Amino acid sequence: MATTQLSLPDLGRRAKAASRALALVPTAAKDSGLQEGADLLQSRVGEILEANGADVSRAQEAGTVPAVVDRLRLDESRLEGMAAGLRDIAGLRDPVGEVLEGWTRPNGIHIDRVRVPLGVVGIIYENRPNVTSDAAGLCVKSGNAAFLRGSSAAIDSNRAIAAVLREGFAKAGLPEDSVVLVEDTSRQSATEFMRLRGIIDCLIPRGGPSLISAVLEHATVPYVIDGDGNCHVYVDASADLEMAVALVHNAKTSRPSVCNAAESLVVHEAVAERFLAMAATALEGVELVGDEAAQRILPSIGQASEEDFGREFLDLKMSVAVVRSLDDAITHVNRFGSGHSEAIVTTDLVAARRFVREVDAAAVLVNASTRFVDGGEFGFGAEIGISTQKLHARGPMGLRELTTTKYLIHGNGQIRV
Amino acid sequence: MATTQLSLPDLGRRAKAASRALALVPTAAKDSGLQEGADLLQSRVGEILEANGADVSRAQEAGTVPAVVDRLRLDESRLEGMAAGLRDIAGLRDPVGEVLEGWTRPNGIHIDRVRVPLGVVGIIYENRPNVTSDAAGLCVKSGNAAFLRGSSAAIDSNRAIAAVLREGFAKAGLPEDSVVLVEDTSRQSATEFMRLRGIIDCLIPRGGPSLISAVLEHATVPYVIDGDGNCHVYVDASADLEMAVALVHNAKTSRPSVCNAAESLVVHEAVAERFLAMAATALEGVELVGDEAAQRILPSIGQASEEDFGREFLDLKMSVAVVRSLDDAITHVNRFGSGHSEAIVTTDLVAARRFVREVDAAAVLVNASTRFVDGGEFGFGAEIGISTQKLHARGPMGLRELTTTKYLIHGNGQIRV
């Protein structure tokens, strides 16, 4: 790419210029660009896998742990998956241009609020090279330039994928700079990236706690945090206990490493004895740690510290708390939860209503697994992350959350008196 | 107030606790609280004006300029205005509880997206003590606790107003800590305030460029920037020139000190000679500075520097640029504008469509004064500011922009397969 020698602000200005053009491109052209990109990802498999091989060898030589090397590694089927992802995005409805509301004022001016792209979406991410195509696809479909800053470990793969996508997008007449990859992967460049105010319209950091705290500390551009999920399942006194066991089992074990997996079980004392015996059997293989009351019922489990209740294990481990009332359950969830997804299992209408109103989280579920809080499960088609913040986007973020709005006002000479 | 001795985080926790209760309060109770607060503002006029007198004397002794002292000063009619403001807010529709969308997934889970309060809204503001009641009213009506940090110059007034509002709100059964005023007005306390992550759900800084840059640099809590308005009026080749003169006159002179006032006039060269002669007459009393082409037509005006084109004068001063095409006009506006409000005067449909699509701003107007970009003029009833950022809120922010949403998911035992 000709962009290798450019400074970070210059790269950003290219993305900005591309975003101005891309904002005006009709949906059909964006969709062809995504299809062309998908085709090239598959026809250029050799080139991409060669680049990826360089990343993988470097990681292995550096003694990187196998799980991390695996996340880095691409093969033909993973590339097919990435291509399929771009084709899926091409099939989604374009959010740009939607009129959200419109009204006429007494003086005759007419106001419309219309959905428009954000502009330049900056994404800082870690090892997985598939993020390069997923993020580029979502950004471009929503009319935004994707300004990507991946990790040094994946730089060869990312460079190859970005080059192919740029070529594919250009074939369909989209600006080549619809995707701009930052090749300087130093820590200083990450910090500089977060401070490109006036260039990056929205930063989405995708990474662990140290990246998030760097963003909170240094970013001057607007950002959306895709935070932790310390999700609870509360089993109410009135719960259907068979259902509760099935939900807890699904929420904890179907994919423990993801943010919508349950990390903590909260049980009303009226059903704690019966339910925890059932749950302990169903959750065989899951390490449980509990408070005193839980330990009295299940003497073999370890003690849960305060820290355990606040922690996202992302593993086959779960904390257990026994509470004396719905009030205590709500207090516990609001105290330890991370504002992601919280579930109640109950047959009591009043308890359900109180739980959904009083628990402060992006999603609150009644008699359903926390695992449903996901862009795909919501029907959004694809997601760029799950926001645990309250501004702009809360919960699963699809194409719509990659847009902003603009007021269009039409008059015939009105002045303000 | 008993809160005087508390640390900033302790004050914040009080606001947080109040926000949890306030989020569940029915509209009628919030409205009575606003009415009680309004009544007390009027019945306790003596007490408030005495406190205000102390602020005013201190400012005068310190040699503060009269315009600033005037902004600080309250009198009976200003207090009546503040009370009327609270009663107006009581009359607005409560945004909390609105169901924005709802759908059922193929597996039977039902998803609703519901409007809920943000929680604790932090506001840092400068001298005007009326912000204390305006902000408290808007926050409480939208179910949020107002966590207020005013200036040291207005501390006595703010303390008196907050005390009266707390009393009024409590009379209606709302939590007293629905309004919490920070009495430590040191610079360190402002910085600490911006970093109360987990306590402040949304920070709205209301002040000048130095406050905004302090927020960008130090804040770790989510914030919405109420930025500058470097607003343009572009007079197209096809414009009705009489209309254009009236709009520019209104946009520039009806209230030069506000953010939706026009700061710059951009004229198509085809009509520049005729139009600028008309405009110069209509804008008598306004200092015009122009580019070379404008100066050729109006030889008496000063030269506009690059800096002039980027500046929000907030005064009877206006920059003038002559452009050769619609393209150049759009480029000029996107380059120098601050993303607030931009207007075109035209009779050409294609020009109007291109301008509204290609200009990147919170509001784009066709044949109407920029002065209409305002919560009141939009029909929002009241506004907490005008956002020039793209995330969360863009343009005038009313009660709705003081809320977030929550997904409520109801199932009957669904698990994710």
Which are the contacts of A189, defined by CB distance < 8 A and separation ≥ 6?
A: A8, A149, A182
- The reply to whether B348 touches chain A by the CB within 8 Å rule is no
Interchain CB distance below 8 Å, A394 and B377: no
Residue of B nearest to A261 (CA): B416
| Interval A56-95: pLDDT, tens | 999 999 999 998 899 899 999 999 999 999 999 999 999 9
- DSSP secondary structure code for residue B398 in this structure: -
Interchain CB distance below 8 Å, B391 and A250: no
- Cα separations (Å) of B8 from A82, A354, B166, B188? 49, 31, 18, 11
Short-list B204, B218, B155, CA closest to B184: B155
CATH of A231-375, one of 3.40.630.30, 1.10.3720.10, 3.40.309.10, 3.40.50.150: 3.40.309.10
| Interval A203-230: pLDDT, tens | 999 988 899 999 999 999 999 998 889 9
- The reply to whether B224 touches chain A by the CB within 8 Å rule is yes
User: Which sign, positive or negative, has the C-alpha torsion B17, B23, B24, B29?
Assistant: positive
Q: Residue B74: what are its φ and ψ, rounded to 5°? A: -110, 155
Interchain CB distance below 8 Å, A111 and B392: no
- How far apart are the C-alpha atoms of B328 and A197, rounded to whole Å? 24
CA distance A369 to chain B (A): 5
Partners of residue A209 in chain B, C-beta under 8 Å: none
Candidates A111, A217, A334, A403: best to mutate against B (most CBs of B within 10 A) is A111
Partners of residue A368 in chain B, C-beta under 8 Å: 109, 409-411, 413-414
Picking from A36-40, A381-385, B8-12, which range would have the lowest pLDDT averaged per residue? A381-385
Which of A202, A366, A378 comes nearest B410 by C-beta? A366
Query: Are B227 and B389 in contact, with CB atoms under 8 Å apart?
Result: yes
Interchain CB distance below 8 Å, A391 and B222: yes
pLDDT value, residue B4? 60
Partners of residue B240 in chain A, C-beta under 8 Å: 413
Interchain CB distance below 8 Å, B409 and A369: no
Query: Residues in chain A, how many?
Result: 417
Chain B (239-298) residues lying within 8 Å, Cβ to Cβ, of chain A: 240, 243, 246-247, 249-250, 254
- How far apart are the C-alpha atoms of B297 and A228, rounded to whole Å? 62
Chain B (113-152) residues lying within 8 Å, Cβ to Cβ, of chain A: 118-119
pLDDT value, residue A1? 46
Query: Are A264 and A321 in contact, with CB atoms under 8 Å apart?
Result: yes
Query: Are B404 and A358 in contact, with CB atoms under 8 Å apart?
Result: no
CA distance B406 to chain A (A): 5
Which residues, in sequence order, are bridge partners of residue B104? B110
- Cα separations (Å) of B59 from B70, B73, B128, B153, B186? 10, 10, 13, 7, 17
> What tokens were used for A35?
């299809």
- The reply to whether A360 touches chain B by the CB within 8 Å rule is yes
A349 burial level (CB within 10 Å; 0-12, 13-18, 19+): exposed
Which of B362, B368, B414 comes nearest A369 by C-beta? B414
Interchain CB distance below 8 Å, B202 and A391: yes
Residue of A nearest to B97 (CA): A357
- Number of neighbouring beta carbons within 10 Å of residue A22: 28
- How far apart are the C-alpha atoms of A393 and A385, rounded to whole Å? 10
What number of H helices and E strands is found in chain B? 16, 16
Asked if this assembly's ipTM is beyond 0.90, the reply is yes
- The reply to whether B367 touches chain A by the CB within 8 Å rule is yes
pLDDT value, residue A382? 83
Interchain CB distance below 8 Å, B362 and A410: no
Interchain CB distance below 8 Å, A378 and B334: no
Query: Are A174 and A140 in contact, with CB atoms under 8 Å apart?
Result: yes
CA distance A60 to chain B (A): 35
pLDDT value, residue A207? 86
| Interval B91-130: pLDDT, tens | 999 999 999 999 999 999 999 999 999 999 999 998 789 9
Which of A118, A246, A360 comes nearest B119 by C-beta? A360
Interchain CB distance below 8 Å, A366 and B409: yes
Chain A (304-343) residues lying within 8 Å, Cβ to Cβ, of chain B: 334
Interchain CB distance below 8 Å, B119 and A390: yes
pLDDT of A4 higher than 70: no
Which are the contacts of B281, defined by CB distance < 8 A and separation ≥ 6?
A: none
CA distance B294 to chain A (A): 24
Q: For B15-26, what is the mean pLDDT? A: 97
SS3 label, residue A240: coil
A309's enclosing H/E stretch is helix A306-309
Half-sphere exposure of B327 (CA within 13 A, CB side): 2
Model pTM score = 0.94
Name the residue type at position B17.
A
pLDDT value, residue A416? 96
Q: How confident is the model at residue A353 (pLDDT cuts 50, 70, 90)?
A: very high
Residue of A nearest to B374 (CA): A416
Taking CB atoms and an 8 Å cut-off, how many pairs form between chains A and B? 190
SS3 label, residue B325: coil
Spans of all domains in chain B: 2-226, 231-375
CA distance B264 to chain A (A): 17
Interchain CB distance below 8 Å, A410 and B220: no
Partners of residue A222 in chain B, C-beta under 8 Å: 389-391
- How far apart are the C-alpha atoms of B370 and B130, rounded to whole Å? 25
Name the residue type at position B293.
A
User: Which sign, positive or negative, has the C-alpha torsion A407, A410, A415, A416?
Assistant: negative
Query: Are B116 and B74 in contact, with CB atoms under 8 Å apart?
Result: no
A126 burial level (CB within 10 Å; 0-12, 13-18, 19+): middle
Percent of chain A residues topping a pLDDT of 70: 99
Which residues, in sequence order, are bridge partners of residue B235? B267, B345
Picking from A62-66, A292-296, B321-325, which range would have the lowest pLDDT averaged per residue? A62-66
Candidates B121, B364, B407: best to mutate against A (most CBs of A within 10 A) is B407
Chain A (31-90) residues lying within 8 Å, Cβ to Cβ, of chain B: none
Q: For B190-204, what is the mean pLDDT? A: 96
- Number of neighbouring beta carbons within 10 Å of residue A233: 29
Q: How confident is the model at residue B1 (pLDDT cuts 50, 70, 90)?
A: very low
pLDDT of A2 higher than 80: no
pLDDT of A296 higher than 60: yes
Q: Which CATH architecture has domain A8-227+398-408?
A: 3-Layer(aba) Sandwich (3.40)
- The reply to whether B408 touches chain A by the CB within 8 Å rule is yes
- The reply to whether A212 touches chain B by the CB within 8 Å rule is no
Which residues, in sequence order, are bridge partners of residue A125? A206
Interchain CB distance below 8 Å, B390 and A404: yes
| Interval A94-108: pLDDT, tens | 999 999 999 999 999
Percent of chain B residues topping a pLDDT of 90: 93
pLDDT of A36 higher than 90: yes
- The reply to whether A391 touches chain B by the CB within 8 Å rule is yes
A142 burial level (CB within 10 Å; 0-12, 13-18, 19+): buried
CA distance B57 to chain A (A): 36
β-strand pairing of B99-104 with A403-414: unpaired
CA distance A394 to chain B (A): 7
Q: Which CATH superfamily is domain B2-226 in?
A: Aldehyde Dehydrogenase; Chain A, domain 1 (3.40.605.10)
- Cα separations (Å) of B141 from A155, B89, B134? 50, 7, 11
- How far apart are the C-alpha atoms of A262 and A229, rounded to whole Å? 8
User: Which sign, positive or negative, has the C-alpha torsion B255, B260, B263, B266?
Assistant: negative
Which of A109, A111, A362 comes nearest B407 by C-beta? A362
Partners of residue B409 in chain A, C-beta under 8 Å: 363-366, 368, 372-373
- How far apart are the C-alpha atoms of A386 and A203, rounded to whole Å? 14
Interchain CB distance below 8 Å, A368 and B109: yes
Which residues, in sequence order, are bridge partners of residue A115? A405
Partners of residue A411 in chain B, C-beta under 8 Å: 365-369, 372
- How far apart are the C-alpha atoms of B346 and B271, rounded to whole Å? 12
- How far apart are the C-alpha atoms of B246 and B242, rounded to whole Å? 6
Name the residue type at position B269.
E
Picking from A361-375, B347-361, B371-385, which range would have the lowest pLDDT averaged per residue? B371-385
Q: For B156-176, what is the mean pLDDT? A: 98
SS3 label, residue A107: coil
Candidates A404, A412, A417: best to mutate against B (most CBs of B within 10 A) is A404
SS3 label, residue A8: helix
β-strand pairing of A110-117 with A403-414: antiparallel
CA distance A59 to chain B (A): 34
Which of A118, A246, A362 comes nearest B406 by C-beta? A362
Name the residue type at position B54.
A
Which of B111, B216, B364 comes nearest A406 by C-beta? B364
pLDDT value, residue A415? 97
Interchain CB distance below 8 Å, B367 and A410: yes
pLDDT of B402 higher than 50: yes
